[in-house]
Structure 1
Amino acid sequence: MVKYSKPKSFYDTFERKGQGQKVTHYCPGCGHGTAHKLIAEAIDEFEIQDRVVFCSPVGCSVFAYYYFDTGNIQCAHGRAPAVATGVRRTLDDAIVISYQGDGDLAGIGMAEIVHAANRGENITVFFINNAIYGMTGGQMAPTTLVGQKTLTTPRGRSLALEGNPIGMCELIDSLVTPVYVERVSLADGARVMRARKAIRKALKNQIEGRGFSFVEVLSPCPVNWKMTPIDARKWIKDELEPVFPVRNFRDSQTGKPERSNGHRSSDAELLSILRSQKEVDSTPEAGPAGEQEATSRDQYVKIAGFGGQGVLSAGVLLANCGTVEGLHATWLPSYGPEMRGGTANASVILSDDVIGSPLVDRPNLLIAMNGPSLDAFEESVRPDGLVVVNSSIITRKPERTDIRFLPIPASDIAKEHNFLQGANVVLLAVCAAVTGRPALKTLREVIPHSLKRKNLADVNLKLVDAALAYLEANPNGGYPA
């Protein structure tokens, strides 16, 4: 009878080192192999192998997909928490693991890990802290100890020049939302057993839907520390653990802590709409010619123009409308370094289904607010898609004949109301009237809550009426004389 065997969540052979190999590529005495085995054993115990998605970024763990017989995603340096967030929000049944080293998580990926923790994403993060950039030769990492010698600190890390090492458990524990934060060590057998329990706890939290779990693992790196494996483990106890105390920082048994009530009033008002309006009446209000019933077809929208035309804010307004109507909605801005006068565009998706990517490459609705935007995106519009342009500025028709075209003098209409910046709302109102998504009722309801300046709500609502009046008088649009 076989009492001890390789976890089922590992591949039978590790092809990273060649066909039929049974050992990993990690250096002798490296802690990654130990951590991998503890995680694989927990996956087996919980019988979640077919649900696990392992996110590994750049670093010594970059080849984890050679070892774990699970779902695997190779992430950009430091971006594993962002990728894990996307997986978490699109695959309800997935068990998502972000496995990161100290340079990756505490250096290049600091923003990603902090924001994922602050949002309380229901993911499990295993943070391997060996106080050095291991894969690239042993440079100083954010967790390198004061006085520790590395390739980039040959005289030792200086408190005056490089500052103190960063305690990631302490940092994550300062946030409201995480449910489990613990630091463990691989310095000896007893400590490995405690690490084993922490890894299981962190995965169990995710299985039970509790929220964000973070386990920091103090791990040896004998080669870059220039020590034997035995000395490296002793160094963890003598040097690393006094700086990074091994202990449990947080263990919530009751689910996610309450979020702090720090919303701006405008956000609170909008959230109130989202909670109370589960479903908006899909029958559009009586409107001008061209207004149609709401459609269940997904809407892929590209809004483009130059900075100062309200391109990005129009995208936010449209996405907010979709959310209020109970749709899945995404908004992805793109703009140059210029504030005003530079090019800008926003991708917005409104869908009845979960959205996998916020990028819009093939819009079925293009809102072009200036000539260069029509030039740039006309060819990308799907056949039979709708192109709505600001004909106050754009003086040509599209070259394609397989798309619907609607020119609206949005800037002129906005200027008549002494609010040129409202041309974006004019075009959104026309699109809502023609496509039925969002409903005009929703657009009117969301406008006061989506604006940063509340005193502009009335003029924007008047522009909605003006846009509908123009469309009723000119069902096919028109150019100025």
Structure 2
Amino acid sequence: MSNQVESDYEVVHSKAKVFYETYERKEELQHQTHYCPGCGHGIAHKMLARAIDELGIQDRTVLISPVGCSVFAYHYFDVGNIQAAHGRAPAVATAAKRSHPHSIVISYQGDGDLSAIGSAEILHAANRGENITVIFVNNAIYSMTGGQAAPTTLLGQKSTTTPLGRSAANEGYPLRMSELLATLDAPVYIERVGLGDNKQIAQAARAIKKAVENQVQGLGFSLIEVLAPCPTIWKMSAVDAQHWVRDVMEKTYPLGVVCDRTKERQPRAIAGPGPRLEEIPALLGIVHDDQPDVPSACREIDDVDLHVRVAGFGGQGVLLLGEILAEAGLDAGLEVSWLPSYGPEMRSGTSNCHVRVSKNPIDSPLVTVPNFLVAMNEPSLRKFDLSVKPGGWVIYNGDAFPADCERDDVNVLALNFTRAADELGDPRAANMVMLGALLEITGGLPQASIDAALRRLVKSERWYQLDGLALARGRALYRESRNKEVAQ
């Protein structure tokens, strides 16, 4: 009899398949999420998970998790997961979608994440009409960090940074992100929903599914704003927080479809593949008819792997030195990166750059342990000298190397490169004299590549000629220093 009774029942609601069976964020309590009781994120997660299940897209889905209360979404959703920096989820989602156009990319963000630090990212992603889906959970406060006012905080609403309540005169008006984005031509579907009661939740589920389905159909950018309760930070019971969404938040953020162009939009064409690797030099204009087969020449060089830090004052040509080195490496068919770092001053401020040149793929543009340091002044030498890899080189623009900077495990070339440049006609060419010395030491780049890079980057004929002489002088200075060492 009991078996017959059990067979009369059908399970109509269960845990979504897209959720992990257990949540391994913590060793204990692996059956539950980290959200507070009554938090809107848990409800939004369930609705999104159900939409993914019903559309059968689990294996195609990539979820972009933000910084905020939902930062651990990747512990719950069994899909492709990417964790984005604060506010950058739309930019990361754009990269994921464009590199894998057949995937379903969902950016999940809170209001502090999306409407404050991420406002530029969401604005431009929407304006481009990126074929992504954005779930925007708005609880009108910064919850994870203790309850500061957010751009969405209501007028009069108290927070840790607006203890007397938000004032239009002091903090401005609440940002209505859905209406703001709907003024753009590109978004295909924007709707604001709430979690204030069961009727609102049912409509929210339908809206989220439609937003995801729009992407499946290739229609373009969709965003669902979800007004969500936050009992803990609002200091309310779960029931009172849900009522506050319905009775208070909705007055500032009215529910409903803000923008719907789904009927008039056609599926967006998927962009074709980008240019082949061998086509890129021509697109960048770095191929010349009279240029020798530099990549072939470069293949004869063993283990090219330069980690170069160039440092000095603004105006010393620090960045140009690094650019020429990187451009020459690119011209030679090598992997390169160039990353500048400088202060706000045009002259006399700090300036340095990271340069990587390698026969192998480059994992990071940062050069934290250089095998070559080009220090154009003493402050830069003192700042970076200890970071040089043992066995590496320090090329220093000074008459003598400071005794308290000396190391037994690195090679040093200390010369007055400014004076050498002045003898050629202009002390400002000291950067090229130093680059010439570096190139002579490494022996890793063909002269044709260096000449081609110099021609592209130096537009003045006078400076092109002078820099060519300076490079040759730097090479000669290094050879002279080596000869002196051998003689001694």
1:416–1:78: structure 2 CA closer, same or farther, 3 Å change rule?
A: same
In the superposition, the TM-score normalised over structure 1's length comes to 0.72
Preserved CA contact (<8 Å) 2:306 2:371: yes
The whole-number CA distance in structure 2 between the counterparts of 1:449 and 1:181 is 46
Instruction: Name the aligned partner's letter for residue 421 of structure 1.
Output: R
Alignment partners' CA distance in 1, 2:396 and 2:296:
24
Residue aligning to 2:65: 55
Where do 1:7-86 residues align within 5 Å? 7-14=16-23, 19-41=28-50, 45-48=56-59, 52=62, 54-57=64-67, 59-69=68-78, 77-78=86-87, 80=89
Aligned residue in 2 for 1:462: 466
Separation in structure 1 between the aligned mates of residue 410 and residue 364 of structure 2, nearest angstrom: 24
In structure 2, what is the equivalent of residue 377 of structure 1?
Answer: 384
**C-alpha deviations, 1:383-421, integer Å up to 9, x for none?**
443443335575779845655554564322332344323
Name whichever of 69-78 and 186-195 sits farther off.
Answer: 69-78
RCO comparison, higher one (Cα < 8 Å, 6+) = 1
Structure 1's 231 and 319: CA in aligned 2 closer, same or farther, altered over 3 A?
A: same
Kindly state the Cα deviation for residue 11 of structure 1 after the two structures are TM-superposed: 2.6
Q: Relative to 1, partners in 2 of residues 1:399 and 1:159: Cα closer, same or farther, differing over 3 Å?
A: closer
Question: Which residues of structure 2 form unaligned runs of 5+?
Answer: 1-9, 195-199, 272-279
| Aligned residue number for residue 135 of structure 1 | 144
* Shift in Å, 1:303: 0.9
1:120 to 1:237, Cα distance in 2 relative to 1, 3 A: closer
Task: Tell me if the contact between 1:323 and 1:329 (Cα under 8 Å) persists in the aligned partners.
Answer: yes
Q: Which residue of 2 aligns with 1:182?
A: 190
For 1:139-191, what per-residue CA distance to the aligned partner results, in whole angstroms no more than 9, with x for missing partners?
43112344555554466543332223334456667889x77673442434134
Residue identity in the other structure for 2:371: N
Deviation (angstroms), 1:337: 6.6
Task: Give 1:102 deviation, angstroms.
Answer: 1.3
The verdict on how the C-alpha distance between 1:155 and 1:369 changes in structure 2, with shifts beyond 3 A counting, is closer
Q: Pick the aligned partner of 1:427 from 434, 440, 452.
A: 434
In the other structure, the counterpart of 2:258 is 246
- The Cα of 1:277 is off from its aligned counterpart by 3.5
Contact 1:102 1:128 in 2 (8 A): yes
Q: How far off is 1:346 after superposition? A: 1.6
* Partner AA of 2:59 in structure 1: I
Aligned residue identity for 2:227: S
Instruction: Provide the residue aligned with 2:305 in structure 1.
Output: 298
Using the aligned pairs only, state the percent identity: 42
* Inter-CA distance 348–23: structure 2 relative to 1 (3 Å threshold): same
- Distance between the aligned counterparts of 1:29 and 1:360, measured in 2? 47
SS in 1 for 2:374: strand
Partners in 2 of 1:194 and 1:278 — Cα distance?
55
Pick closer, same or farther for the CA change 1:26–1:375 going to 2, 3 Å.
closer
Q: Deviations over 1:279-315 (max 9, x none)?
A: 98563999xxxx9965563332111223332223433
Match of 1:368 in 2: 375
> 1 CA distance for matches of 2:372 and 2:296?
21
2:351 to 341, 344, 349: 344
Please name the residue that 1:162 is paired with: 171
Give the alignment partner of residue 274 of structure 1, picking from 267, 284, 299.
Answer: 284
Partner of 1:101: 110
Q: How many residues align?
A: 452
The separation in 2 between residues aligned to 1:338 and 1:466, in whole angstroms, is 26
2:111–2:152 contact (8 Å) kept in structure 1: yes
Q: Deviations over 1:314-372 (max 9, x none)?
A: 33443444455555443333445766445432212234555443221222222222234
Amino acid at match of 1:217: E
Confirm or deny that 1:318 pairs with 2:325: yes
- Shift of residue 66 of structure 1? 3.7
Structure of greater Rg: 2
Letter in 1 for 2:287: Q
When residues 316 and 130 of structure 1 are mapped into structure 2, their CA distance, relative to the original with a 3 A threshold, is farther
Secondary structure at the counterpart of residue 479 of structure 2: coil
Separation (CA, whole Å) in 1 of partners of 2:356 and 2:98:
16
The residue type paired with residue 215 of structure 1 is: L
Q: TM-score scaled by structure 2?
A: 0.71
SS at match of 2:254: helix
8 Å Cα contact 2:440/2:478 also seen in 1: no
Q: Distance in 1 between matches of 2:424 and 2:124?
A: 42
Q: Aligned partners of 1:190 and 1:311: how far apart in 2?
A: 59
When residues 436 and 85 of structure 1 are mapped into structure 2, their CA distance, relative to the original with a 3 A threshold, is farther
Q: Do 1:295 and 1:435's aligned partners in 2 also have CA atoms closer than 8 Å?
A: no
* 1:471 corresponds to: 475
* CA 477–14 in structure 1, closer or farther in 2 if over 3 Å, else same: same
Distance in 2, Cα, partners of 1:403 & 1:89: 45
2:206 paired residue number: 193
- 1:196 deviates by 1.7
Identify the residue that residue 227 of structure 2 maps to in structure 1: 219
Aligned-partner Cα distance in 2 for 1:465–1:284: 25
Letter aligned with residue 368 of structure 2: D
Aligned partners of 2:313 and 2:365: how far apart in 1? 21
Preserved contact between residue 35 and residue 41 of structure 2 (Cα < 8 Å): yes
For 1:277 and 1:344, how far apart are their aligned partners in 2? 31
How big is the shift at 1:459? 1.0
The separation in 1 between residues aligned to 2:93 and 2:407, in whole angstroms, is 41
- Aligned position for 1:416: 423
Rate the CA distance shift 1:401–1:27 in 2: closer, same or farther, 3 A.
closer
Residue in 2 that maps onto 1:5 = 14
- Give the superposition deviation at 1:33: 1.8
> What secondary structure does 1:241 align onto?
coil
Q: Tell whether the 8 Å contact from 2:322 to 2:338 is kept in structure 1 after alignment.
A: yes
Conserved? CA contact 1:133–1:140, under 8 Å? yes
Give the secondary-structure state (helix, strand or coil) at the position aligned to 1:5. coil
